[in-house]
Structure 1
Amino acid sequence: MTDENPRLPDHALELREGATIPLLGFGTWQIKGDDAVRATSTALEAGYRHLDTATVYGNEGEVGRALAGSGVPRDDVFVTTKCPGNGGGHELDTLRQSLELLQTDHVDLWLVHWPDEGTDAVAMWQAFVEAREAGLTREIGVSNFDVSLVDEVTRATGVAPAVNQIEWSPLLFDPETLAGHRGREVALEGYSALRGGTLEHPAIVGIAERLGRTPAQVIIRWHLQHEVIVIPKSVNAERIRSNADVGGFELTDDDMATLDALGGR
């Protein structure tokens, strides 16, 4: 189930401004300090070419150190970071600090981390548009927005988010949410895919056992076949490699339907 040299998928999406985002990324939420450096380095060694971090994670410096020391060319890695939702009024300063910590002159995707009641979402989104126009980020997007707020910032600025990152897993599958993003040409990105009981769910475990795969690999593969970006995270080197080893099998239509049917249960 786990190879020292995992067979990574080649699934990717082209975003609004032409950047290509690998559907499989490495998430770094809650990974701090030396653990963040080691885990990110392991992910890059395993072949991940998409890293996801955020200002509030407090690990951009560690992710940047791992990337700089990896020997992987910067242009080969898609780097995402996020601005706190309550960071209105000093967005560009926040991004410049992120760039310094990440040791790069631009990120590939910059997200509004969450909508904040005390922050003007439209004004914040306009600052994101300015950051993209200044070349500080290739693509801009949001996180934890519903489609009505996506529509609001799009109407106000004439610029739609390239990505919306939300909590997503087979247990949270909602075909209307997926279709709503697809109809707006907004890529859906899921986080916390391996939480909330997904790894222990009998239907997922059953498919994994039949295929000789791990439940995590089945969940990640489900995302890929829906063309949903997925960013599993771990500090365990074996699991980091295992989570990437999803390029050598496919779920059947029946498997996909079984997993889709878990949504809301």
Structure 2
Amino acid sequence: MATGRSYKLNAGISIPALGLGTWQSPDAEVYTAVLTALEVGYKHIDSAFCYGNEQPVGKAIADSPVAREDIFLTTKLWSTYHSRVAEALDLSLKNLGTDYVDLYLMHWPVPMNPAGNHPMFPTRADGSRDLVAEADWDFVKTWAEMQKLLGTGKVKAIGVCNFSIHNLEILLKAPTTTVVPAVNQCEMHPYLPQFKLFEYCAAKGIHMTAYSPLGSTSAPLQDEAVVQKVAEANGKSAAQVLISWGIQRGASVIPKSVTPSRIEANFQDFVVADADMAALDAISKTTTKRVVSPAWGVKIFHDE
């Protein structure tokens, strides 16, 4: 099923429904993971400057027999580069060894000090994150700079990550915003189904990509009784159930794995029965959990 499902973005291009996530994947492992995924049939690879592994991701793409134009490649603008968008993109393109990415995302709606005590995670004396004052720079200004990239041929679409309805409203209402984000990539799984955000984005023509679609080791979603029941009834794994649930809702999903057998198994999505979809939707009525919630020092997730 995965090879046959994709979604049309408002930028006019299509994003494959299933991709390989590469967060927290060490260099040697991510190289093999990307090669394996492309061999299995994946056409969607998700990366980010902040992950620190763009180079092996790009090398795997280059070493794969799959043509670059047949791969949907995403990378992300890191928070210390909000006022240096063009520079950041060029750094990522150099790392990836490609002259364009299909999708370029603002990783977080939080600009950090570009000249702080660390190039990626600058901190203040008290240990808190060294953020740029909103009066000096904000994500609306960042987006205005990202919009300029569309005329360079270096990106096919631009979008955001970790944007709440609150922040999307600010962005969309800004007079400098002339392009609606093609994608909002957010944490999304049955513990955090993001019903309101999903509905809002759909109404605005913004596609949602789900990261951490399987939960994580700190959120044992695959052991949930409902997930296990659906898996057993369909002869599928818990991961296949969760991936299929996300895709069937209309999201693209990017499960991360460096294990070849899991990468292959994750590519085997299926059609989930309506009753099972409803049961999976209902998990959040009794259990809710957000896995990724960095201590930014400012409110990010306004919708909870």
Work out whether residues 27 and 231 of structure 1, in 8 Å CA contact, stay in contact via their aligned partners in 2. Answer: yes
The residue that corresponds to 1:254 in the other structure is 275
Question: Where in structure 1 do 4 or more consecutive aligned residues deviate above 3 Å?
Answer: none
The one-letter code sitting in structure 2 at the alignment partner of 1:144 is N
Matched, 1:214 2:237: yes
The residue that corresponds to 1:165 in the other structure is 185
Work out whether residues 33 and 257 of structure 2, in 8 Å CA contact, stay in contact via their aligned partners in 1. Answer: yes
SS in 2 for 1:150: helix
| Whole-Å separation in 2 of the counterparts to 1:86 and 1:185 | 28
Matched, 1:120 2:138: yes
Q: Cα offset for 1:74?
A: 0.5
The residue that corresponds to 1:139 in the other structure is 157
Work out whether residues 106 and 161 of structure 2, in 8 Å CA contact, stay in contact via their aligned partners in 1. Answer: yes
The residue that corresponds to 2:6 in the other structure is 12
The one-letter code sitting in structure 2 at the alignment partner of 1:145 is F
| Whole-Å separation in 1 of the counterparts to 2:220 and 2:150 | 38
The one-letter code sitting in structure 2 at the alignment partner of 1:150 is L
SS in 2 for 1:241: helix
Work out whether residues 37 and 66 of structure 1, in 8 Å CA contact, stay in contact via their aligned partners in 2. Answer: yes
SS in 2 for 1:86: helix
The residue that corresponds to 1:110 in the other structure is 104
Work out whether residues 5 and 16 of structure 2, in 8 Å CA contact, stay in contact via their aligned partners in 1. Answer: yes
Aligned residues: 257
The one-letter code sitting in structure 1 at the alignment partner of 2:171 is V
SS in 2 for 1:172: coil
Q: Cα offset for 1:102?
A: 1.0
Work out whether residues 174 and 263 of structure 1, in 8 Å CA contact, stay in contact via their aligned partners in 2. Answer: no
| Whole-Å separation in 2 of the counterparts to 1:122 and 1:8 | 35
Work out whether residues 153 and 159 of structure 1, in 8 Å CA contact, stay in contact via their aligned partners in 2. Answer: no
The one-letter code sitting in structure 1 at the alignment partner of 2:191 is L
List alignment gaps of at least 5 residues for structure 2.
111-130, 288-304
Q: Cα offset for 1:222?
A: 0.5
The residue that corresponds to 1:54 in the other structure is 48
My pick for the range that moved more, 167-176 or 55-64, is 167-176
Work out whether residues 150 and 161 of structure 1, in 8 Å CA contact, stay in contact via their aligned partners in 2. Answer: no
The one-letter code sitting in structure 2 at the alignment partner of 1:172 is L
Cα deviations by residue, 1:207-241 (Å, 9 ceiling, x for unpaired): 10111100000000001111111001111100000
Cα deviations by residue, 1:33-75 (Å, 9 ceiling, x for unpaired): 1111011100110100000000000011001000000011111
| Whole-Å separation in 2 of the counterparts to 1:87 and 1:24 | 28
The residue that corresponds to 1:26 in the other structure is 20
| Whole-Å separation in 2 of the counterparts to 1:172 and 1:16 | 25
SS in 1 for 2:184: strand
Work out whether residues 188 and 194 of structure 2, in 8 Å CA contact, stay in contact via their aligned partners in 1. Answer: no
Work out whether residues 3 and 41 of structure 2, in 8 Å CA contact, stay in contact via their aligned partners in 1. Answer: no
Work out whether residues 3 and 42 of structure 2, in 8 Å CA contact, stay in contact via their aligned partners in 1. Answer: no
SS in 1 for 2:2: coil
Matched, 1:178 2:178: no
The one-letter code sitting in structure 2 at the alignment partner of 1:87 is Y
- Taking only the aligned residue pairs, the percentage that are identical comes to 38
Work out whether residues 43 and 70 of structure 2, in 8 Å CA contact, stay in contact via their aligned partners in 1. Answer: yes
| Whole-Å separation in 2 of the counterparts to 1:8 and 1:257 | 21
| Whole-Å separation in 1 of the counterparts to 2:25 and 2:234 | 31
| Whole-Å separation in 1 of the counterparts to 2:212 and 2:173 | 30
Work out whether residues 2 and 17 of structure 2, in 8 Å CA contact, stay in contact via their aligned partners in 1. Answer: no
Work out whether residues 172 and 262 of structure 1, in 8 Å CA contact, stay in contact via their aligned partners in 2. Answer: no
Report 1 or 2 for greater relative contact order, CA contacts < 8 Å, sequence distance ≥ 6. 1
| Whole-Å separation in 1 of the counterparts to 2:43 and 2:173 | 33
Scaled by the length of structure 2, the TM-score of the pair is: 0.82
Tell me which of 191, 194, 197 is aligned to 2:214: 194
Scaled by the length of structure 1, the TM-score of the pair is: 0.94
